[in-house]
Amino acid sequence: MRLLIIEDDAVAANYLKKGLAESGHVVDHAADGEIGLDMARSAEFDVLIVDRMLPKLDGLSVIEQLRGEDDRTPVLVLSALAEVDDRVEGLKAGGDDYVTKPYAFAELLARVEALARRRDPEAAKTKLVVGDLEMDLLARTVTRAGEQILLQPREFRLLEFLMKHAGQVVTRTMLLEKVWDYHFDPQTNVIDVHVSRLRAKIDKNFENPLLHTVRGAGYRLQA
């Protein structure tokens, strides 16, 4: 998933961004309400995580403006304002969920992922299967023919994207944008290196290869 955190506390934002990235998500950050609103308008996100007390434009105003523009992106309000009236106000402004600070990261992550599943039925899938290759998105495990395969976070994200597009040709541009969050070509072999490592893990010790290079086009995962 691609997530946007709108939070002015740099320490809190970095902690949250690090945790979400380690959980396999692409995360952007805005340090004030105006920048956050512009970013939310200019790119597609699966979930927005919005603090209430922001400089330049407060969090509820950000949400209200997006809802007024018919932007239905799920919003999780994150705030130290914890009274019942505060939570009600956040939900009435257009928030889909409300988490108070301090929070348990595991709970926040579960709520973010639940919001994404509610929006996208495809995201409700917790297991991906291509041939004898299986990925459990909740346990974050991968097995092939019952044998567990250990992947680094980036390799997991790469394989997840390939499995969700099984049978399709996935281009380098698609991978750069969706797996690395690059919107430009870094002119490196980063994709080739990671695909090579992934192929060694999921294909090397098995008779039938699943990850194929489509010369001049990209890659395809297919049983």
Whether 114 and 131 share a structural domain = no
Give the range of the structural domain holding residue 51, as residue numbers without chain letter: 2-122
Q: Pick the closest to residue 5 from 49, 36, 47 (CA basis).
A: 49
41 lies in the same domain as 96 = yes
- Percent pLDDT > 70 in the chain is 97
- pLDDT per position as a tens digit, 25-62: 889 999 999 999 999 999 889 999 999 999 999 999 99
**Do 63 and 131 have their domain in common?**
no
Of 122, 148, 182, at which residue does a domain stop?
122
Mean pLDDT of the chain: 90
Local confidence band at 132 (pLDDT 50, 70, 90 cut-offs):
very high
**Are 88 and 17 contained in the same domain?**
yes
Same domain, 140 and 88: no
Same domain, 110 and 180: no
Q: What is the CA 116 to chain-centroid distance, rounded?
A: 9
In the sheet with 2-6, reading across from the earlier edge strand, the strands are 26-30, 2-6, 47-51, 75-79, 97-100
Q: 69 with 95, same domain?
A: yes
Whether cis (ω within 30° of 0) applies to the bond prior to 186 is no
The answer to whether residues 35 and 108 belong to one domain is yes
In angstroms, the CA 50 to CA 24 distance is 20
Residues 198 and 211 in one domain: yes
The confidence score (pLDDT) of residue 124 equals 53
Bigger pLDDT: 122 vs 217: 217
Task: Assign residue 161 the CATH number of its domain.
Answer: 1.10.10.10
Verify that 141 and 200 share a domain, yes or no: yes
Q: Are residues 90 and 141 in the same domain?
A: no
d(CA 150, CA 136): 12
Using a pLDDT cut of 90, give the percent of the chain over it.
70
| Count of domains observed in the chain | 2
**How many angstroms from the chain centroid is the CA of residue 160?**
11
Element (H, E) at 73: none
Domain termination residue (choose one: 75, 99, 122): 122
Residues 115 and 72 in one domain: yes
Q: Which two tokens stand for residue 134?
A: 């299986």
Query: At residue 8, does pLDDT exceed 70?
Result: yes
Checking DSSP bridges between strand 97-100 and strand 75-79, what pairing results, if any?
parallel
DSSP string, 103-121: --HHHHHHHHHHHHHHH-G
Q: What is the mean pLDDT of residues 118-140?
A: 80
Kindly state the average pLDDT of the residues 150-179: 91
Among residues 89, 122, 155, the one where a domain terminates is: 122
- For 219, list phi and psi in degrees, rounded to 5: -140, 155
- Residue 209's Cα: distance from chain center in Å? 28
CATH number for the domain spanning 90: value is 3.40.50.2300
